[in-house]
Structure 1
Amino acid sequence: MRYAFLFPGMASQREGMGRDLAERWPEARAVFSQASAVLGYDFAQKCFYSPLNELTSTQEMRLLTMFVVSVASLRVLEGAGLRPAIVAGASGGIFASLLAADAIDFAQAVRVLEQRGRLIASIPPEKRGSMLAIITANEEVMQQVELIGGEEKAHVGLYNSPTQIVFAGSDEVLRRVRERVRGLRGVYIPRPERFSVGNAHHSPLLMVIQEQWCELVDTMTIRQPRIPVLLSGFNEVTTDPHRVREALLDLNGGAVYWRQSFSRMLEEGYRLFLEVGPCQTLTKLASAWKTPHTALPCGTVAEIEAVFTHLSEKQAA
Structure 2
Amino acid sequence: MTNAALAFVFPGQGSQKVGMLSEIAQEASEIQATFAEASEVLGYDLWDLCQNGEQEAINLTQRTQPLLLTSSVALYRLWRARGGALPARMAGHSLGEWSALVCSGVLAFRDAVHLVRERGRLMQEAVPVGTGAMAAVIGLEDGVVEAACASAADGEVVAAVNYNSPGQIVIAGNSAAVARAIEACKAAGAKKAMPLPVSAPFHTELMRPAAEKLAPQIEAAEFNAPDIPVVHNVHAEPESDPAAIKALMIEQIYRPVRWTACTKKIITDGATQLVECGPGKVLAGLTKRIDRSVTCHSIDNPGSFNEALRSTAV
TM-score norm. by structure 1 comes to 0.91
Q: Distance in 2 between matches of 1:147 and 1:180?
A: 9
Do the aligned partners of 1:59 and 1:117 also contact (CA within 8 Å) in 2?
yes
One-letter identity of the residue aligned with 1:19:
S
What pairs up with 1:186-205 in 2 under 5 angstroms? 187-190=191-194, 192=195, 195-205=196-206
Deviations 1:287-314 (A, max 9, x none): 11245111122222232123124336xx
Query: SS of the counterpart of 1:227?
Result: coil
- Tell me by how many angstroms 1:40 deviates: 2.1
Equivalent pairs: percent with the same residue?
A: 26
- Aligned counterpart in structure 2 of residue 167 of structure 1, from 168, 171, 176: 171
Q: Distance in 2 between matches of 1:241 and 1:75?
A: 23
- Answer with 33-42 or 271-280: which moved more: 33-42
- Aligned counterpart in structure 1 of residue 134 of structure 2, from 131, 136, 155: 131
- Tell me by how many angstroms 1:45 deviates: 0.5
Aligned counterpart, 1:20: 23
Q: Distance in 2 between matches of 1:302 and 1:16?
A: 17
- Tell me by how many angstroms 1:162 deviates: 1.1
Query: SS of the counterpart of 1:263?
Result: helix
One-letter identity of the residue aligned with 2:165:
S
Do the aligned partners of 2:30 and 2:74 also contact (CA within 8 Å) in 1?
yes
Aligned counterpart, 1:304: 305
Deviations 1:25-69 (A, max 9, x none): 11112101111122222111111111212210x221110111111
1:185 matched to 2:189 = yes
Please, which runs of 5 or more residues in structure 2 have no aligned partner?
Answer: none
- Answer with 223-232 or 287-296: which moved more: 287-296
TM-score norm. by structure 2 comes to 0.91
Q: Runs of 4+ in structure 1 displaced over 4 angstroms?
A: none
Summarize the Cα distance change of 1:303–1:275 in structure 2 as closer, same or farther, 3 Å threshold.
same
Query: SS of the counterpart of 2:255?
Result: coil
Summarize the Cα distance change of 1:189–1:24 in structure 2 as closer, same or farther, 3 Å threshold.
farther
Aligned counterpart, 1:7: 10
Q: Distance in 1 between matches of 2:183 and 2:238?
A: 38
Do the aligned partners of 2:130 and 2:199 also contact (CA within 8 Å) in 1?
no
Aligned counterpart, 1:42: 45
Q: Distance in 2 between matches of 1:196 and 1:78?
A: 35
Do the aligned partners of 1:181 and 1:187 also contact (CA within 8 Å) in 2?
no
Summarize the Cα distance change of 1:311–1:13 in structure 2 as closer, same or farther, 3 Å threshold.
same
Q: Distance in 2 between matches of 1:146 and 1:118?
A: 29
- Tell me by how many angstroms 1:228 deviates: 0.9
RMSD across aligned positions (CA) = 1.8
- Aligned counterpart in structure 2 of residue 68 of structure 1, from 63, 67, 70: 70
Deviations 1:135-160 (A, max 9, x none): 11x64xx5322221222232121111
Q: Distance in 2 between matches of 1:71 and 1:148?
A: 38
Do the aligned partners of 2:17 and 2:50 also contact (CA within 8 Å) in 1?
no
